Amino acid sequence: MNNTIVITEYDRVMAFLLYKGTMYESDCNHQECLCEILEFEGTSYEERYGFSLYEEDVDNTDKAAEITYEMIQGDEYDVIGFDLWEVEDELIFTCHFKKYADKYMAYIKDFAKSRGYIFAYYINSDTICIVN
């Protein structure tokens, strides 16, 4: 397997958020991970952001994705986003922003290894680089 992979050619199988040292996971998207985090903190997504991810006949996916992206990218929250991709029969665990992962790097690498995942960083939105 090449160290650099165009990830958009493959399927994402899970989304993860590392929040305050705990990994949350969803087989759907990062927004469901955020729902779990908020429930753990005693509130709901709707109470915090004023809308539900699950409103009937309403697609709030883009609005919710923007909130999660801002959390991952910003400094206000201790949150890091990950994706799990199936690439040529291998599971690749990718970190969205390498510079934010340094604080938890040992945990992240152990997490990936314990599950049999190959660890990688995003180079840009389309490409990842495998960490040996």
pLDDT of residue 99: 65
- pLDDT at position 132 over 70: no
Name residue 18's beta-bridge partners. 23, 80
- pLDDT at position 117 over 90: yes
Average pLDDT over all residues of the chain: 87
Tokens standing for 45? 């997504």
Higher pLDDT, 21 or 17: 17
What percent of the chain is modeled with pLDDT above 70? 95
pLDDT of residue 36: 92
The predicted model gives 3-18 an average pLDDT of: 92
* Distance of alpha carbon 77 from alpha carbon 88, whole angstroms: 34
Number of domains in the chain: 1
Nearby residues of 51 by Cβ (< 8 Å), 6 or more positions away: 45, 60, 63, 64
Higher pLDDT, 77 or 114: 114
> How many CB atoms within 10 Å of residue 35?
21
The predicted model gives 115-128 an average pLDDT of: 90
At 47-98, the pLDDT tens digits run 999 988 877 777 888 888 898 888 887 777 778 889 999 998 899 999 876 6
Structural domain that includes position 107: 4-130
**Which phi-psi region, left, alpha or beta, contains residue 2 (left: φ > 0; alpha: ψ -120 to 50)?**
beta
**Can you spell out the DSSP letters for 38-52?**
HHHTT--HHHHHSS-
The amino acid occupying position 109 is: K
